[in-house]
Amino acid sequence: MVHTVVPMVLTIVLAAIGVLHFVWAFSPWPLKDAVTFTKAIGGSDDGVMPSAFSTVAVGLALIGGAVLTLMVNESIPALGPDWLLLVGMYVLTAVLLARGLGGYFMNAGMAAEFQQLNTVLYSPLCVALAALGGIVAVAASRR
């Protein structure tokens, strides 16, 4: 399960969220408009969408994390030394954990819709993804 289900779930979720970020760079989908989007996803009431550049950068980082997971799990050929991929996996895990735990502290001053979604969905999802990343990293360390 550690070598099959855990890395596949992590890869699929990271890739899906990465693709969503690509969509969000140009559209507020699946929400109806920019104001609704920024209240729920961006945390502000102003309706100003994040820059396409930063949104695409986050999408690329998430998809990169998905690819890294596959390489560390030896599901696809590795592009680099094993130690560097392993360090990358631990860094990915730390970043996800920092976003997950830190997310609870970023609610102040944010739109009410974002605060609620951040508390019940975004932050717990990041912590869960960090746990999966940690499992993949530890399993790879033991090989």
Say if residue 83's pLDDT is above 90.
yes
Contacts of 53 (CB under 8 A, 6+ apart): none
Higher pLDDT, 19 or 39: 19
pLDDT band, very low/low/confident/very high, at 2 (cuts 50, 70, 90): low
- Give the count of domains, the chain: 1
Task: Please give the mean pLDDT across all residues of the chain.
Answer: 93
* Gap between the Cα atoms of 56 and 46, Å rounded: 21
- The pLDDT of residue 107 is 85
User: Closest Cα to residue 10, out of 82, 91, 96, 99?
Assistant: 96
Residue 46, number of CB atoms within 10 A of its CB: 11
Q: How far is CA 8 from CA 42, 72, 84, 89, 142, in A?
A: 28, 12, 21, 14, 19
What's the domain range around 59? 5-141
- The pLDDT of residue 48 is 82
Q: Are 3 and 37 in contact (CB under 8 A)?
A: no
pTM of the full structure: 0.92
For residue 62, the number of C-alpha atoms closer than 13 Å in the C-beta half-sphere is 21
Average pLDDT score over residue span 73-100:
95
